[in-house]
Amino acid sequence: MIGLGAVTRNIHLPAYRTLSDKLEIVAGCDTDPAARLTAKDKFGVPAVFEDARKMIMETAPDIVSVCTPPAFHVEQSLLALEYGCHVFCEKPVAETLADADKLVRSAAEAERHIVVNNQFPYMNIHRAAKERIGTPEFGKLLFLQASQIFHPDEVTEADWRGLLRRRLCFEFGVHVFSLVRYFFDDEPIAISAQMPNPLSKFRSDALNLITLEFADGRAASIVLNRLSNARERYLDMRLDGEYASVHTSIGGEIRFEAGLHTRQKRPFVGFSFVKGGKAVIENGTRSRVIAKDGINPFASSTAYHFNNFIDSIRNGNTPQGTVADNRKTLALVFAAYDSAETRNPVYLKDLEPAEGRTELSVSEGAAIAS
């Protein structure tokens, strides 16, 4: 593991522990001595290093997990490939599409995989929602609405996060885009975004209003809101199908509810106990829980993703979530920023890598689109 910060402690290490029959943690490295000490003494990482190259040379791992801030992902993934390792890289995998393309090419040349940890599709609630799509109960997915209310503070905006100007869509929105691609099983043709910033308490974008359109008329709408003082909702999504809707939400709750379905003039009562998230299928006033997640859905879904990765390496298959696939998710992030800056929709085929155009930069993408 390169980087022994929060994501390693709270997500990777708990995930890896559940895979101990297939995976052995050999070492971790971090430039921060305190992070190394905590990893060794509190989290039982067997060997810690200051330098990533030294760690890889001395421990010769099969897979290197890159868990540092985004600015280091490309350089450290390339380093791991240089030593013949597969790479499990945290999101966002790169800061430009040109860098993502470089990783795609380098992984192919090294005959190794780079898999990106956009793990949200592998949460129980999202897998259960996906399984409903195409069933007689749900029908075709027509529209998806996603929203987040999150209260940023000095802790959440500390260090490198606080320095990002493009933070919300780049660092969090990338998960939502990966879910949109997962559920629609198609690539959007156009994206429009507004990113107003009426109160710039922090450096970064605080409000993302995004619309995605698909060729067959389907659509998705995403509202990421870090201005609201309302109750936090980490990620709520509603998938509207032909015959029913599925509502997913990440986060725990214990809730009693009682009320009146006004149109039907019928009272209702309900009780819900959820540790990490739930998915509910709804049809008018009828609803049924179809899945729940445990206390740490971020770790359990990372474990699911990593397990697939190991199986694919062993079986010689292409794993899910490779950098080549993830580039399409990342393209949506940059297209959203381009759309917001140019005040124009961005047409996504212009951002696909093409012969002789692999070094396309984000700003060139904007120019083409506008």
The residues binding ligand NAD (CB under 6 A) are: 2-7, 11, 29-32, 35, 52, 67-70, 72, 90-91, 117, 119, 159, 171, 298
Q: How many CB atoms lie within 10 A of CB 254?
A: 9
Minimum Å distance from CB 165 to ligand NAD?
15
Measured CA angle at 194 (ends 126, 350), to 5 deg: 80
Minimum Å distance from CB 31 to ligand NAD?
5
Q: Which is nearer to ligand NAD, 31 or 225 (CB)?
A: 31
Residue whose structure tokens are 């780079």: 114
Distance from the Cα of residue 63 to its chain's centroid:
20
Minimum Å distance from CB 302 to ligand NAD?
7
Instruction: Give the orientation angle of helix 97-110 with respect to helix 323-342, to 10 degrees.
Output: 170
CA distance 248 to 243: 17
Minimum Å distance from CB 348 to ligand NAD?
23
Contacts of 180 by beta carbon, 8 Å cutoff, 6+ apart: 144, 146, 188, 212, 220, 222, 332
Q: Which is nearer to ligand NAD, 89 or 346 (CB)?
A: 89
DSSP 82-124: HTT-EEEEESS--SSHHHHHHHHHHHHHHT--EEEE--GGGSH
Three-state SS for 263-307 is CCCEEEEEEEEECCEEEEEEECCEEEEEEEECCCHHHHHHHHHHH
Q: Which is nearer to ligand NAD, 55 or 346 (CB)?
A: 55
Q: Which is nearer to ligand NAD, 31 or 59 (CB)?
A: 31
Contact 91, 118 (CB under 8 A): yes
Q: Which is nearer to ligand NAD, 138 or 172 (CB)?
A: 172
Minimum Å distance from CB 275 to ligand NAD?
17
Minimum Å distance from CB 339 to ligand NAD?
22
CA distance 194 to 202: 18
In order of 162, 234, 242, 351, the CA distances from 159 in angstroms are 6, 21, 45, 31
Q: Which is nearer to ligand NAD, 69 or 251 (CB)?
A: 69
Minimum Å distance from CB 39 to ligand NAD?
9
Name the residue number minimizing CB distance to ligand NAD: 5
Q: Which is nearer to ligand NAD, 173 or 345 (CB)?
A: 173
